[in-house]
C-alpha cells in the first residue's frame, strides 16, 4: 500500500481524490489530510478515512478540532497547525505520494518541500510551477521525484505524449500543444455587459464543479493563462508552441500535435476523478468511478480561437509566460488579490484585468533565481495590488 498526503483535502480535488481512494482502499492508505477553513468537512473525512495526521492551518481552529476528534473517540489522529505543518506532513517518511491541491500561493512551499525529498507528486496546484517553475523542476530532477499532472488539460497532454514520457522533458516528436478551454460562463456575453457581472454569475461554471477562486479564473480565462505557463514547464515547451483552443463542450481535454501531422486528443466526461485516477494508478489504470463517455450524447464539438478583448487576463498571462523571470509571480499574486476583491464586491469583474496589468507595469522583472526572490516578488505584487484596488474604489 502507498501512503498518501492530501494537501487541500476539503476542496473539490481533495474530495474527488478521497472518492477514488475509497474505491481502491487496498492500494492507498491516507496518512495526512489538511484543510484551511472547512473544519466540518475535514472532521467527516477523518471519521471515514482515519488519517494519522490532520492539519488545520489556523491554530485556534486546530485546538477546537482536536477536542472535536477526542469527543468522537478519534484519539489516534494527531492534529497539527500552522503553515509549517503542511511542509511537515508532505515530507513524512511514511508518505509516498502527495496530492498537491491547495489553491493559490499557499500551496507552493509544501509542494516544493515534497519535491525536494523525492515524493511522487500529483500536481493540482498551478502556482508551484507558475511562481517557481525553474526551482521546482530543478528540485524534481535533483531528488528523482516523480511528477504527474492532475489538471485535466495537463493530464490529457501527458497521456497524449509518447510512451515512456517523463514530465519536464521536451519530446522531439511533439511540435505543438493544443490547450483546450471551455470559455467559461461568459464566452458569448456581449463585452459591454462584462463590467456588470456578479460574483454569483462568475462562479457558475457551465461544465466543471470547482471552488470559487478557480471558477472566477475560468470566467476571466486567467485559469487557462496559468495553465499555459504551467504547461511550458511540465512539457519544456515555449509559450509560442502552445495554442489555446476554446472548446465549449469540454469533451476533448487537450491535444498534442506531432511532427508528422498526427494530432492525438484525450477525451472523457468532464470529471476530475479521471485525471486523478490516471495519476494514482500510473503507469497502470484502474476504475475512477466516472461513467463511460457516450459519444452519441456529444453529437458535436466546436472549436474557436480566444478573443483577447473579451479575455484580457489570458493575454496578460501569455505575455508573462514569454517574459519569464518574476513576471508570472507578479501575475499570479495580483490575480489572487484582484479575484478576492471581486468576490467581496470591492471591484468590478473587468477590474480584475486592470489590477493585474497595472501591477505588472509597476513591477520590475528579474530572474526568479531563488525562493527568496520569488517570495519577495509575490509579497510586493500583493502590496501593489491592494494599492491599485483602493485607487479603483467603485
Is the pLDDT score of 271 beyond 90?
Answer: yes
Task: Decide if 288 contacts 274 (C-beta within 8 A).
Answer: yes
**What's the chain's average pLDDT?**
94
Q: Looking at the structure, do residues 163 and 250 belong to the same domain, yes or no?
A: yes
Q: Scan for cell 493530464, then name that residue.
A: 155
Q: Looking at the structure, do residues 188 and 220 belong to the same domain, yes or no?
A: yes
pLDDT at 210: 67
Residue 288 lies in a domain: no
Q: Which residues pair with 121 in a beta bridge?
A: 98, 147
Predicted confidence (pLDDT) per residue in 119-162, tens digit: 999 999 888 899 999 999 999 999 999 999 999 999 999 999 99
Q: Looking at the structure, do residues 82 and 218 belong to the same domain, yes or no?
A: no
Predicted confidence (pLDDT) per residue in 168-206, tens digit: 999 999 999 999 999 989 999 999 999 999 999 998 866
pLDDT at 128: 87
Q: Looking at the structure, do residues 159 and 305 belong to the same domain, yes or no?
A: yes
Residue 360 lies in a domain: yes
Is the pLDDT score of 328 beyond 90?
Answer: yes
Domain closes at, from 126, 149, 172: 149
pLDDT at 205: 65
pTM, whole model, 2 decimals?
0.93
Q: Looking at the structure, do residues 133 and 168 belong to the same domain, yes or no?
A: no
Residue 278 lies in a domain: no
Predicted confidence (pLDDT) per residue in 4-53, tens digit: 999 999 999 999 999 999 999 999 999 999 998 889 999 999 999 999 99
Could you give the number of structural domains in the chain? 3
Q: Looking at the structure, do residues 306 and 353 belong to the same domain, yes or no?
A: no
In this structure, which long-range contacts are made by residues 87-92, counting pairs with CB atoms below 8 Å and at least 24 apart in sequence? Answer: 87/113, 89/5, 89/7, 89/31, 89/32, 89/34, 89/53, 89/55, 90/5, 90/7, 90/32, 90/114, 90/119, 91/116, 91/117, 91/119, 92/3, 92/5, 92/31, 92/32, 92/53
Report d(CA 328, CA 73) in Å as an integer.
Answer: 46
Domain closes at, from 121, 149, 177: 149
List, as one string, the DSSP characters of 277-342: HHHHHTTS----SPPPP-HHHH-----B---TTT-HHHHHHHHHHHH-TTHHHHHHHHHHHHHHHH
Domain closes at, from 89, 117, 149: 149
Per the structure, the complete domain to which residue 364 belongs is given by 324-394
Nearest Cα residue to 108 out of 90, 129, 91, 89: 129
Q: Looking at the structure, do residues 122 and 162 belong to the same domain, yes or no?
A: no
Is the pLDDT score of 220 beyond 70?
Answer: yes
Report d(CA 239, CA 236) in Å as an integer.
Answer: 10
Percent residues over pLDDT 70 in the chain? 98
Is the pLDDT score of 267 beyond 70?
Answer: yes
pLDDT class of 104 with cuts at 50, 70, 90 = confident
List, as one string, the DSSP characters of 231-284: HHHHTT--GGGEEEEE-TT--EEEEEEETTS-EEEEE--S-THHHHHHHHHTTS
Amino acid at each position: 500500500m502507498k501512503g498518501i498526503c492530501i494537501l487541500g483535502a476539503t476542496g473539490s480535488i481533495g474530495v474527488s481524490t478521497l472518492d477514488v481512494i475509497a474505491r481502491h482502499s487496498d492500494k492507498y492508505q491516507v496518512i495526512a489530510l489538511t484543510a484551511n477553513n472547512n473544519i466540518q468537512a475535514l472532521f467527516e473525512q477523518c471519521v471515514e478515512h482515519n488519517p494519522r495526521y490532520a492539519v488545520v492551518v489556523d491554530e485556534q481552529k486546530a485546538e477546537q478540532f482536536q477536542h472535536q476528534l477526542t469527543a468522537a473517540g478519534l484519539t489516534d489522529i494527531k492534529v497539527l497547525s500552522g503553515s509549517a505543518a503542511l511542509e511537515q506532513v508532505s515530507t513524512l517518511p511514511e508518505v509516498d505520494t502527495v496530492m498537491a491541491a491547495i489553491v493559490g500561493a499557499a500551496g507552493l512551499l509544501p509542494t516544493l518541500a515534497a519535491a525536494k525529498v523525492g515524493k511522487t507528486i500529483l500536481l493540482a496546484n498551478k502556482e508551484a510551477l507558475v511562481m517557481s517553475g525553474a526551482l521546482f523542476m530543478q528540485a524534481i530532477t535533483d531528488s528523482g521525484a516523480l511528477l504527474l499532472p492532475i489538471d485535466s488539460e495537463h493530464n490529457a497532454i501527458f497521456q497524449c505524449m509518447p510512451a515512456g514520457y517523463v514530465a519536464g522533458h521536451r519530446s522531439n516528436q511533439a511540435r505543438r500543444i493544443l490547450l483546450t478551454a471551455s470559455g467559461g460562463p461568459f464566452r458569448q456575453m456581449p463585452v459591454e455587459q462584462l463590467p456588470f457581472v456578479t460574483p454569483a454569475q462568475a462562479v457558475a461554471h457551465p461544465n466543471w464543479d470547482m471552488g470559487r477562486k478557480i471558477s472566477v479564473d475560468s470566467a476571466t480565462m486567467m485559469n487557462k493563462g496559468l495553465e499555459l505557463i504551467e504547461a511550458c514547464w511540465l512539457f519544456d515547451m515555449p509559450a509560442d508552441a502552445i495554442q489555446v483552443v476554446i472548446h465549449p463542450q469540454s469533451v476533448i481535454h487537450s491535444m498534442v500535435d506531432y511532427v508528422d501531422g498526427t494530432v492525438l486528443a484525450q477525451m472523457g466526461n468532464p470529471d476530475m476523478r479521471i485525471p486523478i485516477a490516471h495519476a494514482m494508478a500510473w503507469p497502470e489504470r484502474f476504475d475512477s468511478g466516472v461513467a463511460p463517455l457516450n459519444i452519441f450524447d456529444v453529437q458535436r464539438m466546436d472549436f474557436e480561437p480566444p478573443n483577447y478583448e473579451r479575455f484580457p487576463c489570458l493575454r496578460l498571462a501569455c505575455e508573462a509566460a514569454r517574459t519569464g523571470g518574476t513576471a508570472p509571480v507578479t501575475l499570479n499574486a495580483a490575480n489572487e488579490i484582484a479575484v478576492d476583491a471581486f468576490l467581496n464586491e470591492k471591484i468590478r469583474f473587468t477590474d480584475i484585468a486592470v489590477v493585474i496589468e497595472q501591477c505588472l507595469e509597476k513591477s520590475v522583472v528579474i530572474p526568479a533565481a531563488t525562493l527568496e526572490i520569488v517570495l519577495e516578488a509575490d509579497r510586493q505584487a500583493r502590496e501593489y495590488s491592494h494599492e491599485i484596488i483602493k485607487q479603483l474604489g467603485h
